[in-house]
Structure 1
Amino acid sequence: MEKDQWLKGLMEIPVTDEKAEKEARNHMDQLTKPLGALGDLEEIVIRLAGITGETVPDIERKGVAVFCGDHGVTEEGVSAYPAEVTGLMIGNFSRGKAAVTVLARRFGAEVSVVDVGSRLEPLPEGVLDRKVRFGTANMARGPAMTREETLKALRVGADLALQWKENGIQLAAVGEMGIGNTTSASAVAAVLTGKPVRELTGRGTGLDDDGLERKREVITRSLEVNRPDPADPLDGLAKVGGLEIAAMTGFILGAARHRLPVVVDGLISTVAALAAVRLAPGVRACLFASHRSAEPAHGVLLEDLGLKPLITAGMRLGEGSGAVLAFPLFDGAVTTAKEMATFSELGLNG
């Protein structure tokens, strides 16, 4: 009962502030430019206003949460890289040498690396140990994890979102690391969207044609073995998902619950976003799509969410790299709102 009440509370998402949105739109219309000339940058300001309640929002402090977990389905040969790379990359994050940490440093964002389910031990310095279990089970042979483990991972993410909000983070991004997780993400995408596995499954880490066919077959078999309920996002996350995917779902729910805007990255964080929206539809108003990745399922998920990506750069790295790359666009949007003159300041009233 306590667990149910906790989850129920997490899904109580505040409505957007329509008054702040209206004031932000009016402000952007008064700036010295043609109406709508800044395009998506104007919509960023208006949507941020609706989330935060501030006509001209402050997003000076940004953070990217990178959730990490291993996947038992790698036993089926679905990745071009061995499962040990998850642990190696966690060390790379710790040293600040991964793409997401390099980009975050360049654009002034804080990074939290959260181990929610890798097989690595001991963990490198600076990595948050929130391990629920040492990797998921092989979903091609049975459920990846239990519902209880899924809820624990969900809570890891939700707790971090609350902590960030209380510590003054104003714009968040989510990313991940887990060899095999494009397989799990594609499986969850198939459950949530009802689209065919063949239409959703991409090459992930760079599979050749034979590897891609094997990956599709493994996902199809996993869905047949587990039969996840499309009407229950938690069932899909548990049976064919991953610990880091569940944690990102919880983070997104927690962020929306506390009016913290979230920039999603590629396929894996976007499938977590869709799971969160299916649990609590009000979450969608707090989400921004950073880019459209090269993975075929990503476009399907973005369309389902009704989110327009800011960048199309053919990326498929993950980690939150695309989300952090979009941060300068948010800075540009807010800076124009704060610093551009209005027509009335030029003496052109009305």
Structure 2
Amino acid sequence: MKDNEITSFDKELNKFLQSKCLIPGGLGLWEIYFRKICTAWGEISGEIRPQHIIFSADNGCNMEGYVGYNYEVTQKQSRNMLLGRSSATQFCNFNNIPYEVVDVGIASDDGIGVNRKVAKGTKNILNHPAMTEDEFNSAFQAGYERVEHYVKQGINLFSFGEMGLGNTTTSACVLSALTGADPSETVGPGSWPNKPDLMKRKIDFVRAVLDKHKANIVSESEPDRVRKIVAHVGGFDIAAILGAMLACVDFEKPFVIDGFITAVSAACAVHMNDRVKDYALPSHNSREKGTELVLVEVGITQDMVPIQAQMSMGEGTGAILMVQMLKTTQHMFVNVGTFADLMKL
């Protein structure tokens, strides 16, 4: 919408809310997010039609044993999610939120879920760029096209999750490269035990990766710099979520960020298109160390994050809980009675 249309819509939204039998501002963040969702849509509606998308991919640093656990866990857990047996998919099933698993780079011969496999995992970023430019474009486009597919079906709110051993490491690399933050500020335990010796090993790994690629991730164009960063030190999941989030902006559909990995994707998206901030909704404050830093990049401060639960499951667990709360509050704002109705009683 143009600026004058936004102003006109804001007036309409204010009048709508002022008519309701509610204490002004009494519902805090939920009113802020109701306004944000309606403004993104350009209409006042209480019907949220959600879709949760989980992007799965393996990372070369994990497959070569530099970080994390057996990389085959990505394959097994992705199959587990298809069967509805993971925490995220249980949340989806209980709350009637449709979901899908998109394979953008699982190290398996067959495609798992929606097959958009770019390669059987990225290369080890300690020694090589994670992916080629063509591979980045393929992963990015896979994410973009999944959103486009669901927009055509009437979906109006997206949430994103991910699955891939080693992706907190790649996300820390991307965040440090994007912002210049020292790895000690961006590296958290991920699925590792939170022990000083293991953390030091992970921080040293990220520092070595950044040093290896620093000459190749510079550009005068910020969108081009982001592409280079993700292609050199990121993962297929990050590239796909980045594409999906930018598609949400193009199709004017709000989306919910999950934890650290999806927040890093959102920060990359903001650096490519500042309008992403108008569509991005936080869900929870992940216990990963770089979470607060990365959310600030998206224009989100800690007091704007509704769920403070020290979660770090991934898959979109926090995002799904947020979608259910948004569905509840969106329905309420549209259907709650007015002061005029109240005075007739």
Structures share fold, TM-score greater than 0.5? yes
1:132 and 2:118 correspond: yes
Task: Check conservation: 1:70, 1:118, Cα contact below 8 A.
Answer: yes
State the shift of 1:30 in Å: 2.6
1:50 and 2:39 correspond: yes
Match of 1:306?
A: 299
Q: Alignment RMSD, CA only?
A: 1.7
Task: Give me the whole-angstrom Cα distance separating, in 2, the residues matched to 1:29 and 1:83.
Answer: 54
State the shift of 1:14 in Å: 8.1
Task: Check conservation: 2:92, 2:320, Cα contact below 8 A.
Answer: yes
State the shift of 1:57 in Å: 4.3
Task: Give me the whole-angstrom Cα distance separating, in 2, the residues matched to 1:14 and 1:239.
Answer: 37
Task: Give me the whole-angstrom Cα distance separating, in 2, the residues matched to 1:20 and 1:110.
Answer: 30
Task: Give me the whole-angstrom Cα distance separating, in 2, the residues matched to 1:183 and 1:335.
Answer: 39
Q: Which SS does the other structure have where 2:242 is aligned?
A: helix
Q: Which SS does the other structure have where 1:109 is aligned?
A: coil
| Superposed counterparts of 1:168-179, under 5 Å | 168-179=154-165
Task: Give me the whole-angstrom Cα distance separating, in 2, the residues matched to 1:313 and 1:244.
Answer: 24
Superposition TM-score, scaled by structure 2 size: 0.92
Task: Give me the whole-angstrom Cα distance separating, in 1, the residues matched to 2:73 and 2:239.
Answer: 21
Match of 2:341?
A: 345
* Alpha-carbon spacing, 1:192–1:306, altered in 2? closer, same or farther (3 Å): same
Match of 1:251?
A: 244
Match of 1:269?
A: 262
State the shift of 1:68 in Å: 0.6
State the shift of 1:195 in Å: 1.1
1:163 and 2:173 correspond: no
1:143 and 2:129 correspond: yes
| Superposed counterparts of 1:95-110, under 5 Å | 95-110=83-98
Letter in 1 for 2:308: T
Match of 1:194?
A: 180
Letter in 2 for 1:209: P
Task: Give me the whole-angstrom Cα distance separating, in 2, the residues matched to 1:93 and 1:315.
Answer: 18
Task: Give me the whole-angstrom Cα distance separating, in 1, the residues matched to 2:7 and 2:329.
Answer: 19
Question: Unaligned regions of 5+ residues in structure 2, if any?
Answer: none
Superposition TM-score, scaled by structure 1 size: 0.91
Deviations 1:57-102 (A, max 9, x none): 421x2111000100011125321x2111000111101111011110
Task: Give me the whole-angstrom Cα distance separating, in 2, the residues matched to 1:34 and 1:254.
Answer: 36
Match of 2:171?
A: 185
Task: Check conservation: 1:78, 1:211, Cα contact below 8 A.
Answer: no
Letter in 2 for 1:320: G
Aligned length: 332
Match of 1:316?
A: 312
The equivalent position to 1:326 in structure 2, one of 322, 329, 337, is 322
Q: Which SS does the other structure have where 1:296 is aligned?
A: coil
Letter in 2 for 1:327: V
Letter in 2 for 1:277: V
Give the share of equivalent positions with the same residue, in percent: 30
Task: Check conservation: 2:46, 2:331, Cα contact below 8 A.
Answer: no
Task: Give me the whole-angstrom Cα distance separating, in 2, the residues matched to 1:319 and 1:31.
Answer: 37
Which segment is superposed worse, 220-229 or 175-184?
A: 220-229
The equivalent position to 2:67 in structure 1, one of 61, 78, 85, is 78
Deviations 1:19-42 (A, max 9, x none): 333322332233222210011111
Task: Check conservation: 1:136, 1:243, Cα contact below 8 A.
Answer: yes
Which segment is superposed worse, 227-236 or 138-147?
A: 227-236
Match of 2:30?
A: 41
Match of 2:105?
A: 117
Task: Give me the whole-angstrom Cα distance separating, in 1, the residues matched to 2:14 and 2:329.
Answer: 13
Task: Give me the whole-angstrom Cα distance separating, in 2, the residues matched to 1:315 and 1:21.
Answer: 35
Deviations 1:292-341 (A, max 9, x none): 10001111111121122221110001101110011121022212212211
1:25 and 2:11 correspond: no
Q: Which SS does the other structure have where 1:101 is aligned?
A: helix
Letter in 2 for 1:237: V
Task: Give me the whole-angstrom Cα distance separating, in 1, the residues matched to 2:81 and 2:233.
Answer: 26
Match of 1:282?
A: 275
The equivalent position to 2:203 in structure 1, one of 212, 216, 225, is 216
* Alpha-carbon spacing, 1:343–1:160, altered in 2? closer, same or farther (3 Å): same
